[in-house]
Structure 1
Amino acid sequence: MYVAVKGGEKAIANAHALLAKRGRGTADSPRIGYEQVRDQMGVLVSRVMAEGSLYDPDLAAKALLQAQGDVLEAVTLLRSYRTTLPRFGITPAVDTAGLPSERRVSATFKDIPGGQQLGATFDYTHRLLVDELETTDVPPPDVPVDEPMPRVAALLGVDALIESDRPAEGWTDPDPGDLTREPTVFPMTRAERLQALSRGDEGFLLSLGYSTQRGFGNNHPFVGEVRVGEVEVEFEVPEIGHAMPIGRIEVTECEMVNQFVGSADVAPQFTRGYGLVFGRAERKAMSMSLVDRALRRDEFGERSVSPAQDEEFVIAHSDNVQATGFVEHLKLPHYVDFQAELVLIRKLRREFQERQATRESAAHDSTREDTNRLEENA
């Protein structure tokens, strides 16, 4: 605590009041409701939900308002709230294979079963600021396509041109660990890594994903498929003996197709990178899939030569709540630590000055001896 600050607890209360005043803005401006944030800033809300690892658009919007638009602060608020919630059970893995997509695009094939679905995207906007966002001529939105949309990677799987999405026959899928309840232990399973990446900082993952495209990852990626839509979530109810649907959530899924030259035991084929994120978050899902593939280096016998391939580096630094806490704690008082460093620096400087004085004295004595010797010879 900053005990030297004038006012003590009163100063802290005033700081809180000033923060609230700054967040409110001028009194004559209308107050923003969380419903407006939820409905009109869906991409931002999706990011807070993903990195906060809690799917609740209302709470994410409220957190953004309380944090005055600070994404990391909003994520921290949502994570903190999440820790107070009871756990009633687990849900089976969501089935994204039949995801009725609002948006579904592939960069690998022009014509794909079910067709390409543009949906809501910034990809074709001109990136020009407009004076007024409200428009009267809003075209009717695309509706999700009911036609079956098999995975694009399945087309490559017919001729074994891509690795199987299932391991060898007879393999059973173990229950994944829970990073929110168990300590992180390296090396991690792929399921645990995907958990960490899914709630990792978007900017950090974007930078790492970009690094792999620039050659720091030994892969050349293609977007096999990006889907955005709602999936049904089921809950295992022990009393009735089977899963029951409890609602739908919006997710973004990306499957990246990467080159692999093969080995002595495996024929050349494409490999996969995977990303799945809450809400509309294509950039995050794509970055996640790029980093996921880079972290699978051991599976394919690839050398670790870049940061994106280093599991401990990626996972330990991708969590923005931990990163924020560790960086921002530097603002807190460190008086004792600094005084210890100050004493050490002063001691080292005294020793340095003493050595300098000793060297200068020795040099002076040597010069005087040389001068006397020259005078004697003369």
Structure 2
Amino acid sequence: MTRTLTPAAEFATDTEDVARLLTPEGERLTDPSLEPFAADVTADELRSLYRDMVLVRRIDTEGVALQRQGQLGLWAPCQGQEATQVGTARALRTDDFAFPSYREIGVNFVRGAAPEDFVLSWRGEAHSTFDPHEINSAVPQIIIGAQTLHAVGYAMGIQRDGGDQVAATYFGDGATSQGDVNEAMVFASSFGAPVVFVCSNNQYAISEPVTVQAKFPIAGRAPGFGIPSMRVDGNDVLACLAAMRWALDNARSGKGPAFIEAVTYRMGPHTTSDDPTRYRDKEEVERWRRRDPIARVEAHLRARDEFDDEFAAQVQADADELGAAVRAACLGAVTRDPITILDHVYAEPHSGLDEQRTTFGAYLAGFAADDRDASAEVAS
């Protein structure tokens, strides 16, 4: 399934060598590698994919605004990458397990995360805002590439349990230069683990362009580990859905791991602490803006008379409702007492944790004593 790959000088911003089913203008194409996995997708399902992407973008917009207003410590935007996240996640079964990075807002939205789950960690209120086993998605990973090892380990557990579930792990182009990702692919290939690697190639590892770290397309690395790969248009939600169906079928049928490079673009900063204008120009951003994943699905559906103003208004209303719920969850958060940071660290209490609790409790009590002394001095 691995496609012919183009040298680095041509692949960075040109996406002509990717598998695609929808052009940026919304024209439906036929791709021999994807068509068997997309032929049954109905207009209703495309509208549902469109709705998911609009809602994910609204979560992202709200997160950026909340951080700029001082309500969140940090935010990792995903604008422009909604098709990669929603398309691949919608192909997963409920009992499959996702291992996302910190940017996969769309993956966890599709898996069933609640409004508060997107903001409370970034606000510093919780280590994890959901039970991973309730939505079958791991806590988003901050350490670059570490989740790939977790996914392979989980997939090897599936093998030993005799199940037919699949683990799916998400990471960026920069993570492919990390040892963890390469080690994960060694284990996955060696043991034939049922895992799908989804690389969201958004063109930058913070400020480092992909052409600096990859002289050929990233999808070409996987076959060196014995893993079939596909390079797909990451701004085409239908292509991403079909590519993930192919990869899941490969893994679920006992053929082992598969690798998808979804060629997309991060329209915003790496995080809200980043200034992307320092390392990329407006012309590049505008070129990718014309490939917007949401606009192309709308154009396609309108060309089929499957998209009208009533539907658009309903999706917008749903997005407004979700955005309000995300904001309310953030602003309504109640900060817990600092000592509770030691709760739920271990399954069972032990003396080392008790000692830390005593030490930290005394430290916190010192602040309370200072406050009392200051109040007494003011009163006198």
TM-score over 0.5 for the alignment?
A: no
Q: Which has the higher contact order (CA 8 A, sep 6+)?
A: 2
Between Structure 1 and Structure 2, the one with more helix by share is 2
TM-score by length of 1: 0.22
Between Structure 1 and Structure 2, the one with more strand by share is 1
